[in-house]
Structure 1
Amino acid sequence: MSRVLVTGGLGGSGRWIVDRLADDGHEVMCVDQRFAESERGNVDVRVADLTDRGDVFDLVGAFDPDAVVHWAAIPDPLDHPGGEVFENNIVSTYNVLEAAGRADARVVWASSESALGFPFAAETPAPDYLPIDEEHPLRPEDPYGASKEAGEALARTTVRRHDVPVVSIRPSWIQYPGEYVCLGNEPPAEGVGNFWSYVDVRDIASIVAAALEADVEGHEAVFAVADENYGDRETTELFEEQFGSVPEPCDLSGDDASISNAKAADLLGWEPDHSWREAADEDVDGPTV
């Protein structure tokens, strides 16, 4: 059993991550902006402002974690002023990663597919090639995507400064069993920012668990994406209809996802277990935290 500090642990996907790590036998400190009672003996909930360096260093220093999962953030630029989104996300990421590095703790944190620059672009361009992989250029033009690109720069800085491994997970559009809001979602006139990709929240919890166990050195960024698109059509057909052509080179067949999860399989031994075809109508118990 190891000690894992999870930020944003009471959020939509954070709760599933905390539950998974607790199920795996880890001692978990769940940190969020609000308090909730935990009925689990190996989960301790704490309240902190992650933009306050003193709060972060105090909690991390006292808990002395073996690993830190940084999952807290303002998740998009639409509900808050742009400057607040960027400042909150980048300051909290610096504080958490720096504190983790000083504690000699390995780090897994939530970057985003938004770092590519497509989801919140004013006019979504087609990607340079298909499937998109971790080598695709990052071109964000919104404060959320920019905060994630900058966060990955901080991740590399943490590796160089403290010699701890950092995995930047880039989730696609996270869906919840029985609540797949992506289905029936028509793309806006200017394009679809995630190119019909998604990922189940349970697969997010499993990739975080896999990243904590994997033999990773330095900094690695990996996409977390389901195997297929949610459009229930051939992916190239969707691109033809939306953009008038298919990016080349293109190595896709059928309803293959536009974003590749191959690196996560190779590096972390992770593959998604859930598809919209079954998960959209599933009735499962949610996390206990």
Structure 2
Amino acid sequence: MDVVVTGGRGSSGRWIVDRLAGPHDVTVLDRRLPDDGGHPAVEYRALDLTAAGGVFDALTAIDPDAVVHWAAIPVAGNHPGVDLFQNNTLAAHNVLSAAGRVGADVVQGSSDGTYGFFFAEETPLPDELPITEGHACRPEDDYGLSKVVTEEIGKTISRRDGISVASIRPSWIQIPGEYPCRDEEYVDDLATGAGNYWSYVDVRDVADLVEAALTAEIAGHEAFNCVGPDNALGRPLVELMREQYGSVPDDCTVEGDAAAYSTAKATAMLGWEPTRSWREAADEDVDVPIV
């Protein structure tokens, strides 16, 4: 399969590229070319994804079977909100529109920020535990809003051009051997991780889900939660919720140290399950892919 990956040189995108290169022919579109030549099995093109003409020309020339759109400003607070929103939504519109025109299916990076918990002024209780993809999206911030809009772009392009679009909603992505969700200040202060209910996901599980979505038969647009198999504190989630928020949702079926988000949909539709827990991965010694 010929696959274009945007943002493939970023901190999580490089793991996706490393997973796909070999089984697939991969071309990375990013703002600049690698200084050292990059991954030997990958082609590179420097491109501003907010420039529609350049994006269309590139995808028309490559004519890929699929596009992984992973380029974005990945978190709120580091850029002015309007700049973040404009960058993320305009790039998504350009990339997905071009993919639709050339008939390439899309897997795009969304976020658990779509639900609106983490960056809310006061973190609300979710309507349900575990949180499924059907939960209402109520962001109060520009980042979460940008991801809601990019998912709507995916739905629009899918309807218009008949391609499939999978929107992956990762929680806080962790790199093996680093795992800031296990830092002392995070573990010892319950409030630090309360905004996403102490959820996380290993970057290799993210790459696995992207590949699973690429090779699956998906009709239209589908969103998929992408979180680890447990919560980052290793304590019963209900206990954590009651300690931090004083209660749990009436619709609560989680048990033990489960994550707050359900991945049952990805398991049912894509055959994917998260396999890396902080218990092993936090101290793993794994080379970061060079892309």
What TM-score do the two structures reach when normalised by structure 2?
0.96
1:188 deviates by: 3.5
Structure 1 runs of 4+ off > 6 angstroms? none
Partner of 1:198: 200
| Aligned residue-pair number | 286
Secondary structure of 2:206's match? helix
Partner of 2:261: 259
1:285 deviates by: 1.6
Deviation readout 1:113-163 (Å, 9 max, x if unpaired)? 000001111111110110000110000010000000011111100111000
Q: Is the CA contact (8 Å cut-off) linking 2:84 and 2:142 kept in structure 1?
A: yes
- Residues 176-215 of structure 1 correspond to what in structure 2 (within 5 A)? 176-183=175-182, 184=184, 185=186, 186-188=189-191, 192-215=194-217
Take 1:50 and 1:105, find their aligned partners in 2: how far apart are those partners? 17
What TM-score do the two structures reach when normalised by structure 1?
0.96
Partner of 1:53: 52
Partner of 1:116: 115
1:35 deviates by: 1.4
Take 2:78 and 2:40, find their aligned partners in 1: how far apart are those partners? 35
14, 31, 34: which one aligns with 2:32: 34
Q: Does 1:219 align with 2:217?
A: no
Secondary structure of 2:124's match? coil
1:187 deviates by: 4.1
Partner of 2:4: 5
Structure 2: tracts of 5 or more residues without a match: none
Partner of 2:66: 67
Q: Is the CA contact (8 Å cut-off) linking 1:38 and 1:44 kept in structure 2?
A: no
Decide which structure has greater helix share.
Answer: 2
What amino acid is aligned across from residue 191 of structure 2 in structure 1?
P
CA 1:82–1:39: 2 relative to 1, 3 Å: closer
- Residues 120-139 of structure 1 correspond to what in structure 2 (within 5 A)? 120-139=119-138
Q: Does 1:236 align with 2:238?
A: yes
What amino acid is aligned across from residue 230 of structure 2 in structure 1?
E
Partner of 1:145: 144
What amino acid is aligned across from residue 24 of structure 2 in structure 1?
H
What RMSD over aligned residues (CA atoms) do the two structures have, in Å? 1.2
Take 1:103 and 1:235, find their aligned partners in 2: how far apart are those partners? 45
Q: Is the CA contact (8 Å cut-off) linking 1:26 and 1:42 kept in structure 2?
A: no
Secondary structure of 1:69's match? strand
